[in-house]
Amino acid sequence: MPIDLRFDATDVALFADLYELTVSAVFFERGMNETAAFELGLRRMPPNRGYMIAAGIERVVEALEDVRFDPAAIEHLQSLKLFKDDFLDFLAGLRFTGSVRALREGAIFFAGEPIVEVSAPLIEAQIVETLLLNQVGFATMVATKAARCVSAANGRRLVDFGPRRAQGADAPLVAARASYLAGFNGTASIAAGRRYGIPVYGTMSHSFVMAHDRELKAFEDFAAVFPRLSTLLVDTYDSEAGIHNAARIGQRMREQGVKLSGIRLDSGDLRDLALRGRRILDQAGLSDVPIFASGNLDEYRIAELLAGGAPIDAFGVGTALAVSEDAPAGDFYYKLVEYRDEPRMKLSAGKASTPGRKQVFRAHNDKGMPYADLVGLVDEGTVTVAREFRPPPASVSPMLETQMESGRRVMPRPALEDLRARTAEDLRQLDARLKSLRKPPEFPVKTTAALNAMIIGEKLKAERRQE
């Protein structure tokens, strides 16, 4: 049996809850497979989030191009003894033939806005629900967490240290890509570096130091073999003594014309140790040697350390990033909004959906800063919608772009570096108040007059459907 670490393309179709297939089997038997539109969005902002970073979209597009039920998948479904042969024959030939409109990967969005819209024959759009929620939801939470760390670090380097704490073998890859998209400088994951071209970083282990009889000899050996990676881990024993030993190695390297890459603090009072470390390094003539900190860090701790004057030049963020610790999940939804060219609406208390295919319109002031969004109908235009913004905008941008048509990608595959640069620019233009780590203000998101009219009409129709 192969090792169970890969998410194989042939598994995509079975990455579904059982009910996706049972309802699809009924749709098939009743001849219900006309074009449907489903919308993926976020009902409400997670705690302390003033904005969200859309991620996972490129992975979704890749997966949808490969959706298929191979013979092994069909055989497994047969073993469940739930589905008729004609439905399984239908699944054996199924490919995704629909279209996808979505936010650009790395785009900023807010609750109440569509992130992805899937328009396809009903069964195709239904079967991919779990896949889309899983991929977009997790990646978006991590990307947003990472962006908050970037804001807190205020220009200092950040490295993803989360692979060993991430929940599963695929999660570290998602987290590494999402965090790099949002502004991290790299990852500890070699696999993510290979797959996505992300810079990889690493220092040394406590076990390496402990395997030596002397800490100084451990530092000496490592620096001799990897001088360009010589960020020395100083807290295996007494941290201050470790810093002195690292400084001795740094002085020897300088005499040889090589620079010590840094020291790493991984435990204890990081502020105090950073202050003492900076003083020790400076007194040793190593003022250009940076201090790297790790150990249970997140955006709150990073902000606290820097506000306290800790002279830390870079941070490794692990568990808190890999699981988006303070907000590990978002209230994402995937709901039917149109079927057979007719709007559909859900009225559940606290989980009501808005009907119809949509577009998100973003208003910018004369400095390019976004200040409000309107969610409107897909066939509304920027000129008409612009009249509904107050104050009048300098420009209005439609946010959802067509990513796929007839089951194939229609936009060029974007380079991760380009997406990262655009995300950084979007964050630069965002109102600083929305980047507050605690209790940020709510960004204005409203619906257009045309969508409001549809909502009123569809509420009445939805109520009649229950009669």
Cα torsion 260, 196, 53, 305 to 10°: value is -10
Task: State yes or no: pLDDT of 1 exceeds 50.
Answer: no
| Cα 211 to Cα 348: distance, rounded to the nearest angstrom | 61
Give me the pLDDT at residue 465, please: 74
Say whether domain 9-142+327-356+400-443 belongs to CATH 3.30.450.30: no
Residue 29: pLDDT over 60: yes
Among residues 2, 37, 28, the alpha carbon closest in space to that of 344 is found at 37
Average pLDDT over residues 199-219: 96
360 CB contacts (<8 Å, ≥6 apart)? 103, 109, 113, 114, 373, 374, 375, 376, 398, 399, 400
Task: Tell me which residue of 164, 167, 189 sits closest to 177, measured CA to CA.
Answer: 189
Give the pLDDT score at 351.
87
Torsion of CA 266, 269, 270, 276, to 10 degrees: -110
Distance CA 179, CA 198 (A): 10
| pLDDT tens figures, 340-365 | 999 999 998 888 899 999 999 999 99
Superfamily of domain 202-293: Aldolase class I (3.20.20.70)
Measured at the CA of 334, the angle between CA 333 and CA 337, to 5 degrees, comes to 120
What pLDDT shows up at residue 3?
A: 54
Confidence of residue 463 (pLDDT cuts 50, 70, 90): confident
Residue 451 has pLDDT above 60, yes or no: yes
pLDDT of residue 349: 83
SS3 state at 240:
helix
Domain positions in the chain are: 9-142+327-356+400-443, 202-293
pLDDT value at residue 8: 67
Residue 14 pLDDT greater than 70, yes or no: yes
Residue 136 DSSP SS3: helix
Is 125 within 8 Å of 37 (Cβ atoms)?
Answer: yes
Contact 334, 129 (CB under 8 A): yes
Yes or no: say if 50 and 434 are a contact pair by the CB < 8 Å rule: yes
* Model confidence at 250: pLDDT above 60: yes
Inform me whether the pLDDT recorded for 424 exceeds 90.
Answer: yes
